[in-house]
Amino acid sequence: MDLSLMNKEQKKAIQSTEGPLLIMAGAGSGKTRVLTHRVAYLLEDRGVPARNILAITFTNKAAREMRDRVSALITEGTQDMWISTFHSMCVRILRSNINHLGYENSFSILDPTDQKSVVKDILKRRNLDPKQHNPRNIIGFISDKKNQLIRPEQSIAEAAAYPDTLYSEMYHDYQQILYRNSALDFDDLIMLTIELFDKEPKVLEYYQNRFQYIHVDEYQDTNHAQYRLITQLAEKYRNICVVGDSDQSIYKFRGADISNILNFEDDYPEAVVIKLEQNYRSSKNILDAANAVIENNTERKPKALRTERDGGPKLQNIVADSERGEAEEVVGNILDLADKYSHSEMAILYRTNAQSRAIEDTFVKSNIPYKMVGGIKFYDRKEIKDLMSYLKVILNPNDDISFERIINTPKRGIGPKTVDKLKAHGQTTGISIFESIKESDFIGIPKTAVVKLMGLVDLLEKLAQKSKFITITELVDEVLESTGYLEVLESEKTIEARSRIENLEEFKTVTREFDRDNEISDELLFTFLSDMALVSDQDGIEDDGGVTMMTMHASKGLEFKVVFVVGLEEGIFPSRRVIYDDKELEEERRLMYVALTRAEDHLFLSRANSRMIFGKTESNMQSRFLSEIPESLVEGGGAFAQGDANTGSGLKKRTPKRSRIVTNNSGVSFAIGDKVEHKKFGEGIISAIKGEGDSQELDIIFNKVGIKRLLANFAPIEKKE
């Protein structure tokens, strides 16, 4: 294999194939390139069979990219490799072996909405108020226990005080319900795989012999359960290569344990350690700023990123009066750079989603295209959830959680009392709602309801049979037509119903792509539902021409030519809840490091003197992270000094240009009653003018689309005579 384009450290990492290997890969150091070439090197130069290679990443998108890159390097003999996420790998293992744990092989995978339904049901049975016991907190408690591999019985035994005692009992109830439904949540996928390996040593030995060369990407983000799973698989051959960066460990809130990477050499004393410090992404000024910030942490393996790129533009500082002013400054700079960079090459990063509102409003008024990561997800929409529930029940009729959702959707005259009787009968006899329906003649359900219920059961059984011989797209069409779901939406003749129909059509874009890559088989529906359950936020990020808006956490692994990091104020970032906790504060600093190293060319760091967030106006000092950046890296030669908006040492004042108004005359003024023309909305008339100076807004009544409020400085309008 040709490794001539690799640097010395990269080449050593690729060729060190035997025994434990820790690759400390800095941001932008080409770790994916190294991993894919290492896999290809094992196949081509070392003659390792593809079936003996396992590579684990954290997102489906990263797994697809790695698989494609390896296939481009080695055109044949790669199909038997496993390159997947932790969860996808566990689904495959459990699909073949979960019967050892008493589950059906056609198990369902719960999404967060399903989990919330189960917890609400438990609260209802226990006569507890969801307002006092937030289902999200209970789900978080259960998830934390599973990530620590603590079963319900152990949790109950160890619980010392309220509410842990109550939540541990609810964890027990929750797990019983899932078992009865032959359903798993995300955390179960890993916990039950470990339980399977503990219970069935021969199953573990099979996978140890199969995966003799193991690769784990983003090792700093692994939690205890993931660490234990990898340790089990690697125990026999110890050919384990982990890649990561202790400076980018930012998922403690999800259970990630930075000690996994820091203690790798304790776990494997014979390990080789290689540092990848050559950065191929960012300019020198950006890297020097990131290095200066992260050096203030103590819980890390020391390293310093370097680059062969020149210094590049210095960091730009934005200080605004308010969050609205901050948004306008960001938009102004985006417009300044629009002739050099496309919108899709720019990103705005913030600590929490709540900070996005003012920026989004300004984008809308400025007619700048954007996309938000982590907003309302397509798969959370009602019509998509309904359809997915039908597919889940077709695969696993014992999935009461999904069955309860579709039993009267669309409405078929089955009321809540009937459902309660079916559930009560199922709980008493230990059977599912689906099976209870078959006994509905004997449990006090009216004859008319029995006929409707049996009709539903008959329909679902026929669909289950058809599902083995048709594509997923054809199955979706069958479900929508035979259940009457589509007919009901079409009969409503409302804008909302039309939108729901369009979303269902869009869903078929997903199924068609799946059908192109998968042949019809008994496994088809299970594979499809598993794929859908494991979709992550980043899997949906597409280059559709807009500026990307996302949290810093969501940005990890991505890169942009231009990056704006906003909300750099004490109490916002770092978050108020961590300021007095040294370990938590170090995690916030790692998050700052991640945000800075997303930028390739231009980096803007922004704060506001006052900000309204969660309905409350706050005035906070600048973030301590700004003061950790050397003044020589800042535009104007000064440090990030505390001061008034757009004033002070080293601060660049950006005055929005009047020419940002789309007109033939610079400095044009508008008055109520003026006629204007907008590129997109057409002709209109100004009905009101609000605000002063840079914040001036125009209310315009357009002939085609009605009233729109636009920023005078940025709206693409021309004044008509």
Per-residue pLDDT tens digits for 27-50: 999 999 999 999 999 999 999 999
Q: How confident is the model at residue 183 (pLDDT cuts 50, 70, 90)?
A: very high
Where is pLDDT greater, at 696 or 237? 237
pLDDT-derived band at 541 (thresholds 50, 70, 90) equals: low
| Residue 261 CB partners (closer than 8 Å, separation 6+) | 22, 219, 220, 222, 242, 244, 246, 249, 301
What pLDDT was estimated at residue 661? Answer: 76
- pLDDT tens for each residue of 602-637: 999 999 999 877 667 888 889 999 999 999 999 865
The per-residue pLDDT for 680 is 81
pLDDT per residue as tens digits for the range 437-452:
998 888 888 899 999 9
Q: What is the C-alpha separation between 699 and 711, in angstroms, rounded?
A: 9
What is the C-alpha to C-alpha distance for residues 286 and 596, in angstroms, rounded to an integer? 7
Q: Which of 42-51, 61-70, 271-280, 677-686 has the lowest average pLDDT?
A: 677-686
Tell me how far apart the alpha carbons of residues 41 and 35 are, in angstroms, rounded to a whole number: 10
Note the pLDDT of residue 717. Answer: 85
- Find the range with the poorest average confidence among 349-358, 516-525, 534-543: 534-543
- Return phi, psi of residue 269, to 5°: -60, -25
> Could you list the active site residues?
31-32, 217-218, 248, 598
Task: List the structure tokens of 686.
Answer: 């100004």
pLDDT at 682: 85
As beta bridge partners, residue 708 has: 700
Residue with tokens 């080695």: 74
The C-alpha atoms of residue 138 and residue 119 are separated, in whole angstroms, by 8
Instruction: Note whether 614 and 576 are within 8 A (CB).
Output: no
Taking only the tens place, the pLDDT of each residue in 361-402 is 888 888 888 888 865 556 778 899 999 999 999 999 999 999
How far apart CA 182 and CA 102 sit, in angstroms, is 9
Q: What tokens were used for 556?
A: 């990890």
For residue 653, the SS3 value is coil
Query: Can you tell me the distance from the alpha carbon of 293 to that of 313, in angstroms, rounded to the nearest whole number?
Result: 18
Cβ pair 446, 484 in contact under 8 A: no
In this model, does residue 584 exceed pLDDT 60?
yes
pLDDT tens digits along 53-74: 999 998 888 888 898 899 888 8
Report pLDDT digits (tens) over 409-440. Answer: 999 989 999 999 999 898 889 899 999 999 88
Residue type, 125: R
Question: Partners of 493 in the beta sheet?
Answer: none
**Confidence (pLDDT) at 536:** 57
Looking only at the bridges linking them, the beta strands covering 108-109 and 611-613 are: unpaired
- How far is C-alpha 102 from the geometric centre of its chain's CA atoms? 31
pLDDT at 642 over 90: no
The span from the CA of 666 to the CA of 300, in Å, is 54
- Report how far residue 500's alpha carbon sits from residue 505's, in angstroms, rounded to the nearest whole number: 9
Q: Are 291 and 320 in contact (CB under 8 A)?
A: no
Task: List, in sequence order, the alpha helices (H) in 367-430.
Answer: 382-395, 400-406, 416-429
Measured in whole angstroms, how far is the alpha carbon of residue 91 from the centre of its chain?
19
SS3 701: strand
Across 9-23, 191-205, 384-398, 520-534, least confident range: 520-534
What are 333's two structure tokens? 């700079």
Which pLDDT score is estimated for 24?
95
Supply 474's token pair. 């054809």
The two counts, helices (H) then strands (E), for the chain are 27, 21
One-letter amino acid identity for 626?
L
Long-range CB contact pairs, 626-634, < 8 A, 24+: 626/317, 626/568, 628/292, 628/293, 628/296, 629/289, 629/292, 629/293, 629/315, 629/605, 630/288, 630/289, 630/292, 633/285, 633/288, 633/289, 633/292, 633/314, 633/315, 634/314, 634/315, 634/317
pLDDT recorded at residue 478: 95
Mean pLDDT of 128-149: 94
Residue 229: C-alpha distances to residues 218, 236, 244, 268, 530 (Å): 15, 13, 17, 16, 20
As a whole number of angstroms, the distance between CA 369 and CA 680 comes to 12
Residue 545 Cα distances to 329, 504, 540, 541, angstroms: 21, 24, 14, 11
Q: How far apart are CA 159 and CA 142, in angstroms?
A: 13
Q: For the chain, what is the mean pLDDT?
A: 88
What's the distance, Cα to Cα, between the start and end of the chain in Å? Answer: 69
Long-range contacts, 40-43 (Cβ 8 Å, 24+): 40/1, 40/70, 40/73, 40/74, 41/1, 41/3, 41/14, 41/15, 41/17, 42/17, 42/213, 43/70, 43/74, 43/77, 43/78
Q: Which two tokens stand for residue 415?
A: 């009321």
pLDDT digits (tens, 9 = 90+) for 555-578: 998 999 999 999 999 989 998 888
Residue with the two structure tokens 């985006």: 334
Kindly indicate the confidence band of residue 154, based on its pLDDT and cuts at 50, 70 and 90: very high
- Please tell me the distance from the alpha carbon of residue 596 to that of residue 625, in angstroms, as a whole number: 11
- Point out the annotated binding site for ATP: 25-32
Half-sphere exposure of 324 (CA within 13 A, CB side): 12
pLDDT confidence bin for 226, thresholds 50/70/90:
very high
Model confidence at 243: pLDDT above 60: yes
Per-residue pLDDT band for 657 (boundaries 50, 70, 90) equals very low
pTM summary value: 0.77
d(CA 472, CA 527): 10
| φ and ψ at residue 562, rounded to 5 degrees | -125, 130
Peptide bond into 410 cis (omega under 30): yes
